[in-house]
């Protein structure tokens, strides 16, 4: 019990008579609560898990132990904790049962994130596909009516959704290759100043809503994969624009020190709650604010960005305040070659 690797508690009837620190920590109760008899595992069982719990109690009566199962406990502060719990009778007079409790919240959260991802992904794939279908039908109709000029106009409009689909499928492939560790990188000399200005120009062209300001220079070449590094900053700029509706500018600041180059991408948008700042680099993670949720995305971009930077021996961090904006700071080691 004292090893506290998992939660353990002992009950007599509905009353919890002993528990280790791990179980108290999970459920938010104190040792005083325990000693004062304020821990009743039936009261800690939400109504929708009652039937399943009673089934296990019958199994316990018949076999002296019950098969581990998934349930939730209501914690001291009223929040819910998903757990896997199993137990066995270890004393008969008075009858005591020892229960082993695994915190299942990380797995449940991942399951939820994957469910959300699948539903978002289907939606994100269907939207450009619907646009493609409409435009190709239009092309056919125009050709039937012998209006080649209008048909050509309709054909031009398929480029946008095709690019959108290409990007999405490309990101899905990147994520799966990164997971498998099979993404291949090129090693080449990269003029970062030129690359960043090229990206800023291209983004400015496709996103006239914001002014993209590039300040400073790094004045050094890196050794790395030019396209992949380009993907990093395209992604950061595109997020900066996407998550700052109504703002006028996004800024990219370049600087250099003895060993590293630093690129900061800064926006004046929605910002990210402090407790979620680390999580946004995880696969499929999206910030839970209702405002952010209305902006389409699949939570793959920053995972890909972080993996590419890691491969180049660099770092990425974020500094953000909700309602004020975010600054993503990327550092990359300078090449040792002269």
Stretches 46-54, 104-112, 269-277, 329-337: which one binds ligand ADP (CB under 6 A)? 269-277
Segment (H or E) for 157 = none
Residues 27, 267, 308, 316: which binds ligand ADP (CB under 6 A)?
267
> Binding marks (x or -) toward ligand ADP, 153..182, rule CB under 6 A?
------------------------------
Query: Quick one: 224 or 301, whose CB is closer to ligand ADP?
Result: 301
CA–CA distance, 292 with 287 (Å, rounded to integer): 6
> Binding marks (x or -) toward ligand ADP, 276..315, rule CB under 6 A?
----x----xxx----x----xxxxxxx------------
Query: Quick one: 66 or 281, whose CB is closer to ligand ADP?
Result: 281
128 binds ligand ADP (CB under 6 A): no
Residues contacting ligand ADP: total by CB under 6 A: 21
3-state secondary structure 192-232: HHHHHHHHHHHHHHHCCCCEEEEECCCCCEEEECHHHHHHH
At closest approach, how far in Å is the CB of 193 from ligand ADP?
Answer: 23
Are 51 and 69 in contact by the 8 Å Cβ rule? The answer is no
Are 192 and 305 in contact by the 8 Å Cβ rule? The answer is no
Stretches 18-26, 60-68, 130-138, 263-271: which one binds ligand ADP (CB under 6 A)? 263-271
- 3-state secondary structure (DSSP) of residue 115: helix
Query: Quick one: 75 or 322, whose CB is closer to ligand ADP?
Result: 322
CA–CA distance, 45 with 69 (Å, rounded to integer): 13
Are 154 and 139 in contact by the 8 Å Cβ rule? The answer is yes
Q: Which residue is nearest to ligand ADP (CB)?
A: 297
Which residues 6+ apart lie within 8 Å of 50 measured at CB? none
**Of 99, 97, 80, 75, nearest in space to 25 by CA:** 75
Stretches 1-9, 14-22, 71-79, 268-276: which one binds ligand ADP (CB under 6 A)? 268-276
269 binds ligand ADP (CB under 6 A): yes
Query: Quick one: 103 or 267, whose CB is closer to ligand ADP?
Result: 267
Which residues 6+ apart lie within 8 Å of 146 measured at CB? none
The Cα angle at residue 124 between residues 123 and 130, in degrees rounded to 5: 80
> Binding marks (x or -) toward ligand ADP, 211..250, rule CB under 6 A?
----------------------------xx--x-------
At closest approach, how far in Å is the CB of 129 from ligand ADP?
Answer: 18
**What does DSSP say about strands 96-103 and 65-74: parallel, antiparallel, or unpaired?**
unpaired
Contacts to ligand ADP by CB under 6 A: 239-240, 243, 267, 269-272, 280, 285-287, 292, 297-303, 326
């Amino acid at each position: 019990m004292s090893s506290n690797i998992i939660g353990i508690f002992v009950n007599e009837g509905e009353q919890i008579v002993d528990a280790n620190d791990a179980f108290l920590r999970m459920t938010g109760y104190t040792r005083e609560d325990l000693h004062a008899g304020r821990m009743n595992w039936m009261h800690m069982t939400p109504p929708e898990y009652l039937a399943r719990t009673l089934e296990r109690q019958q199994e316990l009566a018949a076999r002296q132990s019950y098969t581990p199962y998934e349930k939730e406990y209501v914690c001291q502060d009223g929040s819910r904790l998903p757990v896997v719990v199993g137990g066995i009778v270890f004393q008969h007079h008075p009858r005591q049962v020892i229960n082993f409790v695994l915190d299942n919240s990380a797995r449940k959260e991942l399951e939820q994130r994957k469910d959300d991802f699948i539903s978002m992904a289907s939606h994100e794939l269907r939207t450009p596909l619907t646009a493609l279908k409409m435009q190709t039908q239009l092309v056919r109709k125009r050709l039937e009516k012998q209006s080649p000029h209008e048909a050509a106009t309709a054909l031009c409009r398929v480029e946008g959704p095709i690019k959108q689909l290409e990007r999405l499928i490309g990101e899905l492939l990147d994520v799966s290759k990164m997971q498998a560790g099979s993404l291949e990188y090129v090693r080449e000399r990269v003029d970062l100043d030129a690359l960043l200005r090229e990206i800023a120009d291209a983004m400015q062209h496709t996103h006239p809503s914001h002014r993209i300001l590039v300040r400073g220079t790094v004045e050094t070449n890196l050794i790395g994969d030019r396209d992949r590094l380009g993907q990093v900053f395209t992604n950061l700029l595109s997020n900066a624009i996407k998550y700052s509706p109504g703002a006028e500018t996004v800024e990219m600041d370049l600087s250099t020190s003895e060993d590293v180059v630093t690129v900061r991408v800064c926006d004046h948008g929605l910002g990210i709650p402090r407790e979620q700042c680390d999580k946004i680099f995880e696969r499929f993670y999206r910030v839970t604010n209702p405002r952010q949720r209305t902006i389409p995305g699949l939570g793959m971009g920053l995972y890909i960005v972080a993996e590419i930077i890691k491969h180049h021996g660099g770092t990425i961090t974020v500094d953000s305040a909700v309602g004020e904006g975010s600054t993503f700071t990327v550092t990359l080691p300078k090449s040792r070659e002269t």
